[in-house]
C-alpha cells in the first residue's frame, strides 16, 4: 500500500521504458506510426556506417577527456585553497558553487551573449585591444573549446564542494606527523592529502565522466551542435533523431550506446582505483 | 579543527617563499572566482541597460543609467507570467508529490515486512544507475499514448517519485530506533499514524535536503520540459527563455531580466539554506 504510488510510477516511467528502449532499438520504430517493423540489429549496423554518429561520439569523447581532468584538478586545488573555515573561504566557496545551482540552459543564454561577436562584451574588449573578435560559437575550431569552458565554469564548484567535505574528514594528526617528519607542503599534498581523498576523488571523477558523456544543455542552447556538427554530441544527436526526425528506434540505439559507454567507463574506473587500493 | 589561526606546528613554515606562494595562489583563487561570478554580474547589469546602449557600447560593464524598464516590459513582451507559473507548478508539484510518495515507499522499505521487499529495494537501486536519456524516448511515447503531451500531468507524473529520494529517506528511516515505533504500535497506532507522526517529523532535515534538491533539479531542468511540452503556454522558464532567445523580436535587456528573475528563487533560497543545497547535490552527484 505504502509502496504502491512509487512502484507504479517507477515501473511505468523507468523500469518498463528501459526494456522498451532496448526493444525499440531493434525496430524501425517511428514515433507516430501504429506498426513498427522488427529489424534486429539493423539500427546498430546503421550507426556503424553513420559518419554523423561517429562525429558525435568523437566530440563527446573529446569533451569528456578534456573536461574531466581539468574539472578534477582545478576542483582539487580550489578545495585545498579554500578548505578553511574563515569567512573569506566560505564566501569564495559559495561563489564557486553558485553556478552549480543555476539553470544551465538559462546561463548558457547569458554565455552565448557574452561570447557573441556583435553585442558581446568579450568581442568588444578584443576590438578595443586591437584584435579581431573570435566569434567562438561560429568557429569550427573554437566552438567545442567554448562549450568545454562553459561546462567547467558550471561544474568545477561541484567537485570542489565534494573535496572540501572530504578534506575536513582528513585527521589533523596525519598532517602533524608529516610536518614532524620534515615533509614540505608539496610532499604533504602528494603523500597525505591525495591518498586521504582517494575515495572522494574517485567519486567526483566518475560523476564528472558520466555527466560529461551526457552533455546536452549548453550545447543545445549555445550552438545547436553547430557550426556544421562540430559540437554535436551523443545526446544532442539522439535528440535530433528522436524528436526532430521522430526515428525512435534509431534514437534508442544511440541511447543504448551511450548507456553502454557509461557502464564501461564506470567499471574501468572502479577497477583502476581498486587495484591502486591494493598496492 | 582550528579555523581562525594556523595550527602551531605550521607556524615554523611561514617563510618568505611560503608567503609568496600563498599570495600567488590567493590572486589565482580570487581571479578565478571573479570569472565564475562574471556571467551573473553581467546578466544583472545588462538587464538594467537600454537596448541602444547594449549595441553602441557592448564592452561597457556599468550601465550609463540604471533603468528597470526591462523588468516591466518582460511581462508584456513575453508570456513570462505563464512561463513562471508553469515552472512553479511543475517544480513545486513534482517536489511536493515526490516527497510524499518517496517517503511512503521509504517507510515501507525500512519498516514494513512484505514479500518481495528485498527485490523491490534492489530494483530501486538499479534504477538509480540508469541515466534518464535512456528512458526518454519510450517515456515520450508513453506520455504521447496517454495524451499527456503538453500538459501538467505529463510533466509532473513521471517525476512524481524518484529512486534517489526513496533511497535517501530509507537510509534515514533505518537509523531511527525501533523502540519509538514499537511503543506506538503497542499503543495501537496504525502504520500510517506511525509514518505521519513519528517518522516524518524525525526526518525533517532529510526531507528538507530532498525538497531543495527536487525543486532545484526540476526548476532547472531543460531537456525534459523541452521534450514533453510543445506550446508556448506550457513551456517552463529554461525551455521558454531558450526558445525566445533565438528570436530577434526580444531585446537583450529583456532577456537578461527574464534570466535574472528565473534565477532569483533559487538564489534567494541559496542565501538562506546553502547547507541543504550542498547536501542535496553532494549526496546525489546529479546536477
pLDDT, tens digit, 9 for 90 and up, residues B169-181: 998 888 888 888 8
Does the beta-carbon distance from A104 to B222 stay under 8 Å?
yes
pLDDT of residue A265: 85
Contact with chain A for residue B4, Cβ under 8 A = yes
Contact with chain A for residue B254, Cβ under 8 A = no
pLDDT, tens digit, 9 for 90 and up, residues B116-136: 888 888 888 888 778 888 899
pLDDT above 80 (res B19): no
pLDDT of residue A278: 45
Q: How many CB atoms lie within 10 A of CB B196?
A: 14
For residue A3, the distance in angstroms to the closest alpha carbon of chain B comes to 4
For residue A195, the distance in angstroms to the closest alpha carbon of chain B comes to 20
Contact with chain A for residue B55, Cβ under 8 A = yes
Contact with chain A for residue B281, Cβ under 8 A = yes
Does the beta-carbon distance from B238 to A105 stay under 8 Å?
yes
pLDDT of residue B114: 86
For residue B222, the distance in angstroms to the closest alpha carbon of chain A comes to 6
Nearest by CB: B263 against A100, A103, A185: A103
Between vectors from CA B209 to CA A94 and to CA A203, what angle results, nearest 5°? 70
pLDDT of residue B271: 87
pLDDT, tens digit, 9 for 90 and up, residues A210-236: 899 999 999 999 998 888 899 999 999
The alpha carbon of residue B220 and the mean position of all alpha carbons in its chain are separated, in whole angstroms, by 6
pLDDT, tens digit, 9 for 90 and up, residues B69-88: 889 988 988 889 999 999 99
Residue labelled with grid coordinates 527485490? B119
- Our CA dihedral for A120, A124, A126, A132, rounded to 10 degrees, sits at 90
CATH architecture assignment, domain A23-278: Orthogonal Bundle (1.10)
pLDDT, tens digit, 9 for 90 and up, residues B212-245: 989 999 999 999 999 999 888 899 999 999 888 8
Regions in chain A scoring below 50 on pLDDT: 277-279
d(CA A18, CA B139): 9
Contact B218, B94 (CB under 8 A): yes
Closest-approach residue (CA) in chain A for B192? A2
In this prediction the ipTM stands at 0.89
| Residues in Cβ contact with A88 at an 8 Å cutoff, skipping those fewer than 6 apart | none
Does the beta-carbon distance from B259 to A110 stay under 8 Å?
yes
Does the beta-carbon distance from B61 to A121 stay under 8 Å?
yes
Does the beta-carbon distance from A242 to B266 stay under 8 Å?
no
Q: How confident is the model at residue B15 (pLDDT cuts 50, 70, 90)?
A: low
For residue A102, the distance in angstroms to the closest alpha carbon of chain B comes to 7
d(CA B41, CA A146): 20
Contact with chain A for residue B273, Cβ under 8 A = no
Nearest by CB: B108 against A2, A124, A154: A2
The Cα-based distances of A219 to A56, A78, B171 in angstroms read: 12, 26, 36
Residue ranges per structural domain of chain A: 23-278
End-to-end CA gap in chain A? 49
B49 vs A1, residue with greater confidence: B49
Closest-approach residue (CA) in chain A for B103? A2
Between vectors from CA A191 to CA A187 and to CA A192, what angle results, nearest 5°? 105
pLDDT, tens digit, 9 for 90 and up, residues B241-287: 988 887 666 788 899 999 999 999 999 998 888 888 887 777 665 43
| Residues in Cβ contact with B162 at an 8 Å cutoff, skipping those fewer than 6 apart | B98, B102, B214
- Our CA dihedral for B233, B236, B242, B243, rounded to 10 degrees, sits at -20
A interface mutation test: which of B25, B52, B135 has the most A CBs within 10 A? B135
pLDDT of residue B232: 86
Whole-number mean pLDDT of chain B?
A: 85
pLDDT of residue B18: 66
pLDDT above 50 (res B2): no
Q: Which domains does chain B have, with CATH numbers?
A: 8-69 (no CATH), 72-284 (1.10.3720.10)
B interface mutation test: which of A22, A110, A181, A217 has the most B CBs within 10 A? A110
Nearest by CB: A121 against B58, B158, B239: B58
Nearest by CB: B43 against A110, A157, A239: A110
d(CA A143, CA A137): 5
Amino acid at each position: 500500500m505504502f509502496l504502491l504510488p512509487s512502484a507504479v510510477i517507477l515501473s511505468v516511467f523507468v523500469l518498463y521504458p528501459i526494456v522498451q528502449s532496448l526493444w525499440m532499438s531493434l525496430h524501425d520504430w517511428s514515433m507516430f506510426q501504429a506498426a513498427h517493423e522488427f529489424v534486429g540489429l539493423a539500427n546498430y549496423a546503421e550507426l556503424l556506417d553513420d559518419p554523423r554518429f561517429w562525429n558525435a561520439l568523437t566530440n563527446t569523447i573529446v569533451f569528456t577527456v578534456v573536461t574531466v581532468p581539468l574539472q578534477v584538478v582545478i576542483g582539487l586545488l580550489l578545495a585545498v585553497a579554500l578548505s578553511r573555515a574563515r569567512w573569506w573561504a566560505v564566501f569564495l566557496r559559495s561563489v564557486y558553487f553558485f553556478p552549480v545551482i543555476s539553470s544551465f540552459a538559462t546561463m548558457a543564454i547569458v554565455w552565448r551573449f557574452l561570447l557573441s561577436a556583435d553585442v558581446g562584451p568579450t568581442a568588444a574588449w578584443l576590438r578595443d585591444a586591437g584584435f579581431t573578435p573570435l566569434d567562438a560559437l561560429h568557429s569550427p575550431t573554437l566552438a567545442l573549446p567554448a562549450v568545454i569552458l562553459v561546462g567547467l565554469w558550471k561544474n568545477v564548484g561541484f567537485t570542489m564542494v565534494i573535496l572540501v567535505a572530504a578534506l575536513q574528514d582528513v585527521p589533523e594528526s596525519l598532517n602533524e606527523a608529516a610536518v614532524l617528519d620534515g615533509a614540505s607542503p608539496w610532499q604533504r599534498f602528494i603523500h597525505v592529502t591525495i591518498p586521504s581523498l582517494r575515495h572522494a576523488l574517485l567519486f567526483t571523477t566518475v560523476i564528472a565522466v558520466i555527466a560529461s558523456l551526457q552533455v546536452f544543455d549548453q550545447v543545445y542552447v549555445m550552438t545547436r551542435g553547430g557550426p556544421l556538427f562540430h559540437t554535436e554530441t551523443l545526446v544532442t544527436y539522439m535528440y535530433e533523431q528522436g524528436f526532430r526526425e521522430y526515428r525512435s528506434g534509431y534514437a534508442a540505439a544511440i541511447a543504448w550506446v551511450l548507456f553502454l559507454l557509461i557502464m564501461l567507463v564506470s567499471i574501468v574506473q572502479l577497477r583502476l582505483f581498486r587495484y591502486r587500493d591494493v598496492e | 579543527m582550528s579555523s581562525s589561526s594556523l595550527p602551531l606546528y605550521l607556524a615554523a613554515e611561514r617563510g618568505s617563499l611560503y608567503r609568496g606562494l600563498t599570495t600567488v595562489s590567493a590572486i589565482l583563487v580570487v581571479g578565478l572566482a571573479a570569472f565564475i561570478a562574471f556571467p551573473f554580474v553581467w546578466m544583472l547589469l545588462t538587464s538594467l541597460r537600454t537596448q541602444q546602449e547594449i549595441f553602441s557600447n557592448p564592452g561597457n560593464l556599468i550601465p550609463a543609467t540604471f533603468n528597470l524598464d526591462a523588468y516591466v516590459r518582460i511581462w508584456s513582451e513575453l508570456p513570462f507570467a505563464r512561463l513562471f507559473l508553469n515552472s512553479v507548478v511543475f517544480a513545486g508539484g513534482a517536489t511536493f508529490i515526490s516527497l510524499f510518495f518517496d517517503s511512503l515507499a521509504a517507510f515501507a522499505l525500512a519498516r514494513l515486512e512484505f514479500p518481495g521487499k528485498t527485490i523491490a529495494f534492489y530494483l530501486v537501486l538499479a534504477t538509480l544507475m540508469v541515466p534518464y536519456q535512456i528512458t526518454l524516448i519510450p517515456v515520450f511515447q508513453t506520455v504521447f499514448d496517454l495524451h499527456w503531451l503538453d500538459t501538467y500531468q505529463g510533466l509532473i507524473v513521471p517525476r512524481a517519485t524518484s529512486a534517489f529520494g526513496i533511497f535517501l529517506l530509507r537510509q534515514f528511516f533505518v537509523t531511527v530506533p525501533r523502540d519509538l515505533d514499537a511503543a506506538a504500535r503497542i499503543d495501537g497506532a496504525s502504520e500510517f499514524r506511525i509514518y505521519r507522526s513519528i517518522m516524518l517529523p524525525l526526518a525533517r532535515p532529510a526531507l528538507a535536503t530532498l525538497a531543495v534538491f527536487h525543486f532545484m533539479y526540476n526548476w532547472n531542468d531543460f531537456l525534459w520540459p523541452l521534450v514533453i511540452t510543445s506550446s508556448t503556454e506550457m513551456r517552463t522558464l529554461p525551455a521558454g527563455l531558450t526558445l525566445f532567445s533565438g528570436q530577434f523580436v526580444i531585446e537583450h535587456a529583456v532577456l537578461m531580466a527574464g534570466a535574472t528573475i528565473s534565477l532569483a528563487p533559487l538564489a534567494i533560497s541559496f542565501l538562506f539554506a546553502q547547507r541543504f543545497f550542498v547536501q542535496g547535490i553532494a549526496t546525489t552527484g546529479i546536477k
